[in-house]
Amino acid sequence: MDLSSYKAAQKVFGRRHNKHFNRLLAIFSIIVLISMFLPWTQTISGKGYLTTLKPDQRPQTIQSPIPGRIEKWYVKEGDFAKKGDTILHISEIKSEYFDPNLVARTGKQIQAKTMAVNSYQEKVKALNRQIEALKTERQLKLKQAKNKLVQSKLKVKSDSIDLEAAKTNITIAERQYDRTAQLEKEGLKAVTDVETKRLKLQETQAKLVSQENKLLTSKNEVINTEMEINRVQAEYTDKISKARSDMLTAQSSQFDSEAQVTKLENQYTNYEIRNSLMYIRAPQSGFINKALQSGIGETFKEGDRLVGIMPAKYDMAVETFVEPIDLPLIHVGEKVRIQFDGWPAIVFNGWPNVSFGTFGGKVVAIETFISDNGKYRVLLAPDEEDGAWPKALRVGSGANTIALLNDVPIWFELWRQLNGFPPNYYQPENQMADVGKK
């Protein structure tokens, strides 16, 4: 059938229409071909959320180091609390701390034990004085006994001389008696003279025996004096040892009392600190987020979370995660573009300068150990050379990150994506210069 006679067929199959369509296809192909050689910035995308730059600026919970029972709340959720402000008051639930006068009574125990320590110290001093007195008395006694020993020895010597004199006298008396007896036999002396000489001889013999007895007595006194010296030495040694033993016992009791005083002082300090823990205070200025324990009379254990607080002053940061294959391409100090949840943005990954609604950031820390989600954590801080981040951002909201790498042609990026190859190995210029220097 010939359709050329119809107007509709003439419009559809007309050579003029095909000519314009072919020209449009040619122009589009040329544009596509030229665009394949346009620069395209390789990127690494990641998902994360807003956090703070320093650990002490992040949301935290306040715990109680002791178990207790809630008595009174001084704040409500959303309130601003300065550092040291009281948040709530708690009371004890352990029976050993129920006594309201526990600290005062412990102080009295410390005073009593301190007085006991002082008493033992005085006793030790008294015993030391007693020991010194016994030592002095022992010296005097020994000196007295030694003097007596010297006297006894001198007396022995004197008695020995007297004994020799008595022996000489008896020899003389015997000679006189013998001569008188001889003369009496010869008739020259009377019997009376003989008897007188015999009497004198007997007296001299008696004196000799008496002098020998005195000499033995003097020798016995020397022996007795030596024994007295030993007795005095032993007696005072025993007394001094006993006094020293009492002193050591007193010192032991003193040290034991001092240890008890130290232990009581430790308990006293612990009780004071524990009493101060009855009031839970804000560790830093911030906003009360949520009461994790509520009501009055509710009990909790030590370490339980009581209330959450968000610090008032903080430096915003973004915590994002990258795949392990992309980790070698991330370096500290690199530029990153960030899109925050809730802020409208038009993002062109390959042309970051054309994107709208993204904000600048830089890498400040890279985690060296993989996270539970199988990725590595990267911390981003605001880029001072870029615009400031929105002031209405809140910690915990989501964020999408785009790390900028090398510039490559579009055709190369399409070929890489189709083949599933990773981005080109990238190293910042300053690090490349350092490697060149090495």
Tens digits of pLDDT across the chain (438 residues):
666 667 776 666 655 556 667 777 888 888 878 877 766 666 677 888 899 988 888 889 999 989 999 999 999 988 999 999 999 999 999 888 888 888 899 999 999 999 999 999 999 999 999 999 999 998 998 898 888 888 888 888 888 888 888 888 888 888 887 888 887 787 777 778 777 878 887 888 888 888 888 888 888 888 888 898 898 899 999 999 999 999 999 999 999 999 999 999 999 999 999 998 999 999 999 999 888 888 888 899 988 999 999 998 888 899 999 888 777 778 888 888 888 887 776 655 555 555 566 888 889 998 888 888 888 999 999 988 887 888 888 888 888 887 766 566 667 667 766 766 566 545 555 544 343 333
Domain 102-276 has CATH 1.10.1240.10: no
* Six token digits for residue 257: 């009392």
Q: Distances from the Cα of 383 to the Cαs of 137, 187, 274, in angstroms? A: 92, 161, 46
* Six token digits for residue 201: 């001889």
CATH number of 39-58+314-437: 2.40.30.170
Q: Which helix (H) or strand (E) holds 4?
A: none
**What is this structure's pTM?**
0.58
pLDDT at 369 (0 to 100)? 87
Q: Which helix (H) or strand (E) holds 399?
A: strand 398-409
Q: How far apart are the first and last CA of the chain?
A: 83
Q: Which helix (H) or strand (E) holds 355?
A: none
Spatial contact of 64 and 304, defined as CB atoms under 8 Å apart: yes
pLDDT at 436 (0 to 100)? 39
Helices (H), 277-352: none
CATH number of 60-92+278-310: 2.40.50.100
Euclidean distance between CA atoms 177 and 196, whole angstroms: 9
Residues 6 or more apart whose CB falls under 8 angstroms from that of 230 comprise: none
Euclidean distance between CA atoms 268 and 274, whole angstroms: 10
pLDDT at 86 (0 to 100)? 93
In this structure, the chain runs to a length of 438
What are φ and ψ of residue 13, in 5° steps? -95, 15
Q: Which helix (H) or strand (E) holds 316?
A: strand 316-322
Euclidean distance between CA atoms 35 and 32, whole angstroms: 5
Residues 6 or more apart whose CB falls under 8 angstroms from that of 107 comprise: 268
pLDDT at 435 (0 to 100)? 35
* Six token digits for residue 26: 């040619």
3-class secondary-structure state, position 217: helix
Task: Please return the burial class of 437, using the count of CB atoms within 10 Å of its CB with bins 0-12, 13-18 and 19+.
Answer: exposed
Euclidean distance between CA atoms 54 and 278, whole angstroms: 30
pLDDT at 433 (0 to 100)? 35
pLDDT at 41 (0 to 100)? 65
pLDDT at 428 (0 to 100)? 57
